[in-house]
Structure 1
Amino acid sequence: MNRILSALVAGLVFGIGIAVSGMANPAKVLNFFDPLGTWDPSLAFVMGGALMTTFIGYRVIFARRQAPLFDAKFHLPTARTIDARLIGGSALFGLGWGISGFCPGGAIPALGFAPWPTALFLIAMGAGILLARWLQALPRRQTA
């Protein structure tokens, strides 16, 4: 129960941060990607603040704790390979973000501001996730 409650609190803090920073508004995000037009650098400041907070937070937590409060161990990524799946997924993420103005995590708080466009984005994202999982589950052909 503590794990669920802590995840809820973290999600609420994230959502409030997205809303307060204005990043739930896809037009604000899209303006960041338009340096020759209506460029808005605020996304860079939001991302920079998040990176600095995360960097400091990880250093403090890992220096003081062997495990998180509500789990037996930290679950950190172990993959170090840069492969076609990583590059392709990153490219799709960037294209989707640049076209729609929605980051997947930031789209959920945006439901309160623009419910229909945001819901359409979330449905399309969910369909893409299901399609990717289905494609990943297909048997791979072996080449000799």
Structure 2
Amino acid sequence: MQKLIYSGLIGAIFGLGIAISGMANPAKVLNFFDVAGSWDPSLIFVMGGALLTTALGYRLVFGAASKPLFDAEFHLPINKIIDARLIAGSATFGIGWGIAGFCPGGAIPALGFGGVSVIAFTGAMVIGIVLARALDGLRHKPVKAF
């Protein structure tokens, strides 16, 4: 239960940060990409703040703890291979972010503001996740011999 409470608290703090920074507003994000028009560089500062917070957080957590509070071990990415799957996923993420102005981190908190565009984006995102997992499951499914 404690794990659930802390997870909810961390999610609420993240969502509040997204809302305060304006990143739940797709127009603000799209203006960042419009370097020839109404460019808004504030996204750089939000990303820089996130990078700094993450770097300090990793330094503090891994320097002070051998394991997380609510799990047996830290779950860190171990795959260091840059392959077609990673590139395709990154490109899909970037194209979707550039077209819609939402990324998953900004869309979930934006659901609290309502609106057709964020509901449509989140629905499409969920469908995409389900399809990707289904296709990945088919790709890695063992084939039975006769």
TM-score normalised by structure 1 residue count = 0.93
Return the offset for 1:139: 4.4
Matches of 2:10 and 2:66 in 1, distance apart? Answer: 20
Matches of 1:60 and 1:133 in 2, distance apart? Answer: 34
Task: Please name the residue that 2:103 is paired with.
Answer: 103
Task: Please name the residue that 2:6 is paired with.
Answer: 6
Contact 1:23 1:29 in 2 (8 A): yes
Cα deviation per residue 1:83-103 (whole Å; 9 max; x = unaligned)?
111000000000000000001
Give the alignment of 1:3-82 within 5 angstroms: 3-82=3-82
Q: State the AA in 2 paired with 1:134.
A: A
Matches of 1:137 and 1:76 in 2, distance apart? Answer: 22
Return the offset for 1:2: 1.5
Task: Please name the residue that 2:134 is paired with.
Answer: 134
Percent identity between the aligned chains? Answer: 62
Structure 1, 8-17 or 127-136: larger mean CA deviation: 127-136
Cα deviation per residue 1:55-80 (whole Å; 9 max; x = unaligned)?
01110110010011111111111111
- Unpaired stretches in structure 1, ≥5 consecutive residues: none
In the superposition, relative to structure 1, how do residues 139 and 49 fare at CA in structure 2: closer, same or farther (>3 Å)?
Answer: closer
Matches of 1:137 and 1:75 in 2, distance apart? Answer: 21
In the superposition, relative to structure 1, how do residues 37 and 133 fare at CA in structure 2: closer, same or farther (>3 Å)?
Answer: same
Moved over 6 A (4+): none
Count of residue pairs the alignment pairs up = 141
TM-score normalised by structure 2 residue count = 0.92
